[in-house]
């Protein structure tokens, strides 16, 4: 029988709040108090810099970013610089890595890429992995990014898939440190706007298929209660139950 992985659609959540939630859930998972957990959400506009990132990969000045309402956040994930914003589906699996992939980080990253590829296929977009660069690509343009971290044997951070984000925001950075590559989205390729809650439900199902997990939907409040139990104080952006307007 497949192990259970709980999941929830959280709507639009500030990056710092989501990071605090991940840390609280990671501690709970490492101590065996919760099962594997998949967070699905979107962020307000934010540029994040991973462990290998350089500020030179941010093309805009702090003042210019602030004028456009774009935050900047240093984080502990792998990878370089990326952008998150409304219309991008973000997935953060909080999972014990050894039961999931035998402890194989490369297999885990490849699995996240496979989840995105299958979701894109369901949306009518043919995408593939690149042998030299992580993520998911349509030709030479990136449509899905992966950046993970592992602590106490438990994963955090994850993937980001461009459904209908503001693509012009990506011009403010050198995405993933690759100046010769472009960025695209499902909306740009198909002309369709995808409801994020529906895409999240499909992503959860595909995560279960790729990693052999029995997916169980839970209310978002159940996961936020873990933060309260860990006495972590965060601020979230509350959205209607159906998700943020794009």
Identified catalytic residue from 154, 176, 183, 223? 176
- The rounded distance, in Å, linking the Cα atoms of 94 and 204 is 13
Q: What b/e string do you get for 171-193 counting C-beta neighbours within 10 Å, with b at 16 or more?
A: ebbbbbbbeebbbbbbbbbeeee
> Is residue 5 a contact partner of residue 95, using CB atoms and an 8 Å limit?
yes
User: Would you call 176 a catalytic residue per the annotation?
Assistant: yes
122 contacts: CB under 8 Å, gap ≥ 6: 202, 206
Crossing angle between the packed helical segments 105-122 and 196-211, to the nearest 10 degrees: 130
Rounded to the nearest 10°, the torsion over CA 118, 15, 222, 229 is 140
In this structure, the dihedral spanned by the alpha carbons of residues 107, 110, 112 and 113, taken in order and rounded to 10 degrees, is 180
Determine whether 209 is exposed, middle or buried from the number of CB atoms within 10 Å of its CB (0-12, 13-18, 19+).
middle
CA–CA separation, 96 vs 152, rounded Å?
9
Cα separation, 239 vs 73, whole angstroms: 22
Residues annotated catalytic, as ranges: 176
């Amino acid at each position: 029988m497949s192990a259970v992985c709980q999941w929830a659609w959280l709507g639009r959540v500030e990056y710092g709040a989501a990071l605090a939630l991940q840390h609280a859930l990671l501690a709970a998972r490492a101590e065996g108090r919760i099962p594997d957990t998949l967070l699905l959400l979107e962020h307000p506009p934010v540029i994040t810099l991973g462990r290998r990132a350089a500020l030179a990969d941010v093309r805009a000045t702090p003042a210019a970013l602030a004028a456009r309402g774009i935050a900047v956040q240093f984080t502990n994930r792998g990878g370089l610089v990326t952008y998150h914003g409304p219309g991008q589906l973000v997935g953060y699996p909080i999972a014990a890595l050894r039961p999931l992939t035998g402890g194989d980080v490369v297999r885990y990253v490849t699995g996240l890429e496979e989840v995105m590829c299958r979701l894109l296929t369901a949306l009518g977009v043919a995408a593939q992995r690149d042998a030299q660069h992580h993520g998911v690509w349509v030709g030479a343009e990136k449509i899905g990014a992966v950046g993970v971290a592992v602590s106490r044997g438990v994963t955090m951070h994850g993937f980001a898939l461009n459904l209908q984000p503001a693509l012009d925001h990506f011009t403010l950075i050198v995405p993933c440190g690759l100046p010769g590559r472009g960025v695209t989205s499902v909306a740009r390729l198909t002309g369709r706007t995808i409801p994020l809650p529906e895409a999240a439900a499909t992503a959860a199902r595909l995560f279960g298929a790729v990693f052999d997990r029995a997916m169980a939907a839970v209310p978002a409040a159940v996961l936020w209660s873990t933060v309260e139990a860990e006495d972590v104080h965060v601020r979230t952006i509350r959205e209607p139950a159906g998700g943020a307007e794009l």
